[in-house]
Structure 1
């Protein structure tokens, strides 16, 4: 069994607990939070700590640390775990700063441990089908892509904790909500060469943006349009990813981009397209993405390979978002190195 420890017992930790409990070959060994009240959870046999260093030093049997603390603390805790030869799974975004993300990749490699970033939307059934079509070139020459997140995060959401909506610990709609969608766009379309963007804080009393729009050019020459907002009234409206090429048009949408809305690909009959849509509608969520990430880390450790969503994968959307914010601030096109 591969033993996991979770640090940061906020909302997202529940998904990690469930994923570890359901993942083959995984065992929840310990949890950690600086707030002892958050440790008051019924987990028989699981050790509980308020100090990460103490937890790791006292328990050499911990193999993997799942970092679920506010984003601004990810780099610091990754370093602590890596220096103690523990593999790391870190929640999105892997970091709010480019230099921190690069340091996380560097320190885990230096200490010979694995780094995985939680981008679970890649494992949605509809997205998996789209990726297979992209990989075999079914769209021909790519025209453009569209990534849209139209969600609601009201003021009460941001007021839950002092760190929410801050530049130092949380980030705005791009880092916190749209990053999964942007990860999908990059995974499907490839790296971005340049971006022109605008962002604003329109409705929420936070330090960061609550709405943003950007146009990107991919290194393959295709274009992309990004729209992200937490200002939608009164609830989440949609998350979608759409790809357009000379021989294909596909749009995956719904409130959380789980359903196939358009599936027009050269060589695929209307009957086959409708069958594909029906298959996805029957099971739009599949195995939970966090469980995929946990099971992949178990395999990566046993097989001594890189995780499917490794540090470099987590770095890509962070780099894109920082370029979008730079462009929005300067009013200029930003070239991504």
Structure 2
């Protein structure tokens, strides 16, 4: 068994703990939070700590630390975990700034530890099937893509904790809600060359944006449109990813991008399309994405390989989001640089 600990016992930690409990080859042995009240329900079940470094020093047999704290704290905690030779699973976003995500990658590489970032949407059945089509060359040359998140997050959501909606610890709709969709966009379309964007705070009393629209140019020459909003009334409307190529068009949609809406590929019949749609409708959610991430990290440790979702994968949407925000602030097109860390 690969032994895990979870740091930061807020809402998302419960998903991690459930995933560890359900995952093959994984075992939860410790939890950590600076607030002892959050540790009470785990007393007597696993070891509990209020100090991360104490846990790293004292906890025997610890292999992997899952970081579930507010996003602005990810870098110093991940770098500390790496310095003790422990592998890292870090919640999205990996960090809020490009420099911080690169520091995490550098710390992991320097200390020879594995690093995985929680982008679980890659494992949704519809997304996996779409990836199969792309890997088989069914799209041909890409034309363009659309990534859309039209959701609702009311003021009460941001008022749950003082760090929500702040630039230092949380980020806005792009970093919090749309980042999974942007991860998928980049996973399919490849690196971005430039962005031109607008962003604003329309309704919520927060420091960060609740609405952003941008046009991107991929290094391949394909184009893309990104729309992200938490201003939709009265509830989540849709999350979708549409990809268009010279020999294929597809759109995955629904409130959480779980269903096939469009599925047209050269050489495939109406029966092929209906079969694909029925397959996904029969099981639109599949195994939980967090469980995929945990099982993959456990296997990566045992097999001494890289996780499926790497640090570079986690860095890419952060770099894109910061370029979007820079373009929105300056009114200029922003060109993305190559990440300094290559492994």
- TM-score tier, shorter chain, comes to over 0.9
Q: Deviations over 1:82-118 (max 9, x none)?
A: 0111000000000001111001000011001011000
Q: Deviations over 1:186-220 (max 9, x none)?
A: 00011110000000000000000000000001111
Name stretches of at least 5 consecutive residues in structure 2 with no aligned partner.
338-343
State the 1:229 CA deviation: 0.3
SS at match of 2:326: helix
SS at match of 2:73: helix
Q: How does 1:73-112 map to 2 (within 5 A)?
A: 73-112=73-112
SS at match of 1:221: coil
Partner Cα separation in structure 1 for residue 40 and residue 245 of structure 2 = 52
1:233 aligns with 2:233: yes
Q: How does 1:1-337 map to 2 (within 5 A)?
A: 1-42=1-42, 44-337=44-337
Q: Which residue of 1 aligns with 2:341?
A: none
CA RMSD of the aligned region, Å? 0.8
Name stretches of at least 5 consecutive residues in structure 1 with no aligned partner.
none
State the 1:246 CA deviation: 1.1
Does the 8 Å CA contact 2:190/2:220 hold for their aligned counterparts?
yes
SS at match of 1:40: helix
Q: Deviations over 1:117-141 (max 9, x none)?
A: 0000000000001111111211111
State the 1:268 CA deviation: 1.3
Partner Cα separation in structure 1 for residue 43 and residue 234 of structure 2 = 36
After alignment, is 137-146 or 67-76 more displaced?
137-146
Partner Cα separation in structure 2 for residue 325 and residue 266 of structure 1 = 38
The count of corresponding residues between Structure 1 and Structure 2 is: 337
TM-score when normalising by structure 2: 0.97
1:43/1:23 CA distance change after superposition, 3 Å: farther
SS at match of 2:41: coil
Partner Cα separation in structure 2 for residue 203 and residue 174 of structure 1 = 15
Partner Cα separation in structure 2 for residue 113 and residue 181 of structure 1 = 27
